[in-house]
Amino acid sequence: MPPSLKAGKPILTARIPTFPYGKEQDRHTVSYDEYVKTGGYTALRKALSMAPEAVVDEVKKSQLRGRGGAGFPTGLKWTFLPKVAPGPDGKPGDPGQRYLAVNADESEPGTFKDRLLLDFDPHLQLEGIAIACYACRIKTAFIFIRGEYHHQTHITEKAIKEAYANGIFGGKGLLNGAKTATGEPWVVDCYVHRGAGAYICGEETGLLEALEGKRGWPRIKPPFPAVKGLFGKPTIINNVETLCHVPSIIEHGADWFSKQGCDSTVGGPPSWGTKLMGVSGHVNRPGVYECDLGIKLSTLVNDYCGGMRGGKKFKGAIAGGVSMGILGPDQFDAEMDFDIGRKYNVMGLGTACPTIFDEDTDMVAVARNIARFFKHESCGQCTPCREGSGWLYQLMCRIEEGQGKTKDLDLALEIATSMGIMPGTTICGLADGNNWALRTIMNKYRDEFEKRVKPSFIPVKMTIGAGAKG
């Protein structure tokens, strides 16, 4: 049996039957009426009775960290918005136009957790959006949903319609123009913007470019979006799951939140709260489960997913989306918290959606698959990423086909290491993902790669960049 949640009951999946608290076949899309009947929008009411800064403070105190991949503290991000000077009459000043962009692009291979929230409990994210907009003095929210999420777009649009009809958004102001702690109602509009098949639009500034009707080319930072974002206005970008945490934090308080999840094991900021973990690959029951942060990967696989498929041995796991790199055969007990990167030599927890590989998996093929992904999705602005991703894919294909040389391994490692924001050669983190994924696979399964390459002088034909196949 899986360990019970520290909160005693599911939070994000309170209305989405999920093992071990409910049965998948009982799932249905929660309507506005059902959402309200089960306690929905009470957190919004509470938030409106608090000063906006107090809401931001509560989220800051909870040390909620972004669930979109980077784990950046949400409350802190919100404080980066320009301060609003009070009006001449002492009333709250006008912040002008500022935006919330909700990241529902979910395209990181292996990641399918936001979809669960979008499919079944659409009002949870809308409540989170309403609270965030009130707290951050934002008037307009765009939910950026990836183009392939057709069903999820319909559900979200329907939920927004219900929310408008019931006075949550638009009109007189949040909650039918309820008077807020500032003395005035706060009017928020909320729209869906559909993507069109580009992973790079998940990167927050690529997303903003797409919202502006341009190619999704990430922007050079600074300026950061909180200062100069969508249409040049202050903008907050948050992941769907992050926003879904906000209502319960407001309802129960930061102290309650800090009792879930885990403290840092390496002296860093804590990993509090629960997290949706989507497990795929060679397990008996793949799926999305809500767990306390800090749960061991082996517990996740054995107690939630019914163990390895066919009783095979664990060989490795993509930590949380391919960009994060791989957990090796001896890291099955890794704790799934935000410290995972420092402890186990991966980039980080990422989306906390591991893909599990059994003993029969060809790790060279895994590396080739991932290299192809990055080559395909590089937006092409930065030379190290555009060219490097093409080279890496070529090298991986060559090694997989048994045509590689020992030198190719070193070359691949050298190329990988040279690309990314962290080495300082690119605009966005896509290249870091490529780097970490390939470097950790090559290092942790070095013997497997060495077996495939030969120390020979076979002439090599190679096309890079635009002409490369795949």
Chain residues that interact with ligand FMN, rule: CB under 6 A: 66-70, 72, 74, 103, 105-108, 200, 202-204, 237-239, 242, 428-430
In the chain the first and final C-alpha atoms are separated, in Å, by 44
Q: Is 381 in the site for ligand SF4 (CB under 6 A)?
A: yes
Distance, CA of 460 to CA of 253 (rounded, Å)? 62
Among the residue ranges 43-51, 67-75, 284-292, 332-340, the one whose residues contact other proteins (CB under 8 A): 284-292
With CB under 5 to 8 Å by kind, the binding choice for 242 among ligand FMN, ligand SF4, other proteins, none is ligand FMN
Least distance in angstroms from the C-beta of 286 to ligand SF4? 29
Distance, CA of 160 to CA of 123 (rounded, Å)? 8
Q: List beta partners, residue 141.
A: 100, 190
Among the residue ranges 8-16, 129-137, 264-272, 363-371, the one whose residues contact other proteins (CB under 8 A): 363-371
Q: Is 302 in the site for other proteins (CB under 8 A)?
A: no
* CB contact burial 21-41 (16+ within 10 A = b; e otherwise): beeeeebebbebeebeeeebb
Q: Is 275 in the site for other proteins (CB under 8 A)?
A: no
Contact by Cβ (8 Å): 235, 225: yes
**Residue among 196 and 460 whose Cβ is closer to other proteins:** 196
Among the residue ranges 180-188, 237-245, 252-260, 422-430, the one whose residues contact ligand SF4 (CB under 6 A): 422-430
Distance, CA of 140 to CA of 402 (rounded, Å)? 54
**Residue among 302 and 369 whose Cβ is closer to other proteins:** 369
Of these, 160, 188, 244, 430, which contacts ligand SF4 (CB under 6 A)?
430
Q: Is 131 in the site for ligand SF4 (CB under 6 A)?
A: no
Q: Is 349 in the site for other proteins (CB under 8 A)?
A: no
- DSSP H or E stretch at residue 189: strand 189-194
- DSSP H or E stretch at residue 144: strand 140-145
Contact by Cβ (8 Å): 340, 468: no
Phi/psi of residue 278, nearest 5 degrees: -100, 115
**Residue among 194 and 296 whose Cβ is closer to other proteins:** 194
Distances 240 to 114, 142, 190, 350, 391 between C-alpha atoms, Å: 6, 12, 14, 14, 34
Q: Is 200 in the site for other proteins (CB under 8 A)?
A: yes
With CB under 5 to 8 Å by kind, the binding choice for 78 among ligand SF4, ligand FMN, other proteins, none is none
Q: Which residue is nearest to ligand SF4 (CB)?
A: 385
Of these, 200, 301, 336, 413, which contacts ligand SF4 (CB under 6 A)?
200
Of these, 385, 397, 399, 415, which contacts ligand SF4 (CB under 6 A)?
385
Segments of 228-338 assigned E as strands: 235-239, 261-262, 271-272, 274-281, 287-292, 314-318, 326-327
Distance, CA of 74 to CA of 250 (rounded, Å)? 14
- Please tell me whether residue 272 adopts helix, strand or coil conformation: strand
Binding site for other proteins (CB under 8 A): 97, 106-112, 114-115, 140, 146-151, 189, 191, 193-200, 210-216, 231, 233, 278-282, 286-288, 318, 322, 353, 355, 357, 361, 365-366, 369-370, 372-373, 375-381, 386, 466
